[in-house]
Amino acid sequence: SVIIDLATDAVIPLEIGALSRQDVQQADELFVCNSLIGIWPVRRLGERRYGLGALTLALREGGLASTIRTPEWRAPQSAAGRL
């Protein structure tokens, strides 16, 4: 896997296995990845908010940066706002 290779190259410790709900809730940072968006940080899951952490940034800069799109967070416009 590309992510495993990037983590290994960046000397980022990794562990492969299933995560419990508690593991996810206690994490300092989270990301999802696929071949379309590359590495995408999870900023919120339910009521829990996550920061954009150093490990996610290190992986993003490690080789998939050209495939990563920066999210553009925009508030939805009301019909009145478009007039």
Q: Which of 54, 72, 70 is nearest to 62 (CA)?
A: 54
CB burial of residue 38 (10 Å; 0-12, 13-18, 19+): buried
pLDDT of res. 48: 92
pLDDT of res. 63: 58
What is the pTM for the complete model shown? 0.64
pLDDT tens-digit series, residues 25-64 = 999 999 988 888 888 899 999 999 998 888 888 888 875 5
Q: Which of 6, 22, 1 is nearest to 56 (CA)?
A: 6
- Find the Cα–Cα–Cα–Cα dihedral 70, 34, 41, 10, rounded to 10°: -100
- 77: pLDDT strictly greater than 60: no
